[in-house]
């Protein structure tokens, strides 16, 4: 594998040789120390989260206006949580406007979002915001928490990635400030050292 020169202020990316992908989820890589596994879902989450946070610092996440606005019907409880977070959602590229008692007109969605069913996607986001908000004592959720939720649901599970896509994901991950965990704190990479492997195979005394 060719290691590209990285920007001077970033730590150098470790030299990994990509071996393949296990169950469309774990990327297997060889490192100098042994075997490295990357959870592609967690890695995507980290990359999207940092991109989103940078965009928010610069005024908002790029969004795309829908040709035909979507009508989102909600329960009164969901309507309430949506209303409380409309400005944060707007900074995340989701333009929603109250339209009748429990209906919202969705006029724009973030450009990074790739989904065939945006209303189902919004339902998932709202459901998670609901469960986060039930655990929180304050009326409004923090913007970082909302960003985490939005980008968690923007990552497709078990997406089949090509080799260049895996390489790009790895490069993007190591361009992040915190490459080693997803925004929820789950690891993106785990390593199994040669030493560990040798123990498991009984080559070394335990
Ligand atoms: Zn996560």
| CA-wise closest residue to 168 among 40, 50, 49 | 40
Q: Work out the percent of the chain whose per-residue pLDDT is above 70.
A: 93
Give 185 Cα–ligand 1 centroid separation in angstroms. 6
pTM of the predicted structure, to 2 decimals:
0.79
Give 102 Cα–ligand 1 centroid separation in angstroms. 30
Q: What is the pLDDT of residues 123-147, one digit of tens each?
A: 999 998 998 888 887 778 888 888 8
Give 188 Cα–ligand 1 centroid separation in angstroms. 9
> For the chain, which domains are there?
60-154 (3.30.1370.100)
- As a whole number of Å, the CA-based R_g of the chain is 20
Give 170 Cα–ligand 1 centroid separation in angstroms. 17
Q: What is the pLDDT of residues 137-190, one digit of tens each?
A: 777 888 888 888 887 877 776 778 899 999 999 999 999 999 999 998 999 999
Buried b (16+ CB within 10 A) or exposed e, 155-180: beeeeeeeeeebbebbebbbebeebe
């Amino acid at each position: 594998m060719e290691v590209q020169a990285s920007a001077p202020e970033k730590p150098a990316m470790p030299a990994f040789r990509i071996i393949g992908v296990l169950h469309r989820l774990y990327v297997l890589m060889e490192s100098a120390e042994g075997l490295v596994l990357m959870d592609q879902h967690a890695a995507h989450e980290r990359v999207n989260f940092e991109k989103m946070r940078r965009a928010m610092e610069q005024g908002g996440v790029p969004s795309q206006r829908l040709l035909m606005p979507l009508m989102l019907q909600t329960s009164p409880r969901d309507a309430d949580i949506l209303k409380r977070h409309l400005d944060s959602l707007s900074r995340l590229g989701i333009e929603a406007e109250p339209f009748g008692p429990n209906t919202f007109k969705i006029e724009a969605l973030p450009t990074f979002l790739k989904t065939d069913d945006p209303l189902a996607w919004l339902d998932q986001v709202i459901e998670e915001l609901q469960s986060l908000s039930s655990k929180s004592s304050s009326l409004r959720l923090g913007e970082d928490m909302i960003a985490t939720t939005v980008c968690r649901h923007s990552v497709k599970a078990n997406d089949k990635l090509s080799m260049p896509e895996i390489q790009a994901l790895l490069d993007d991950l190591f361009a992040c400030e915190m490459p080693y965990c997803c925004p929820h704190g789950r690891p993106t990479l785990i390593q199994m050292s040669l030493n560990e492997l040798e123990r498991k195979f009984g080559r070394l005394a335990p």
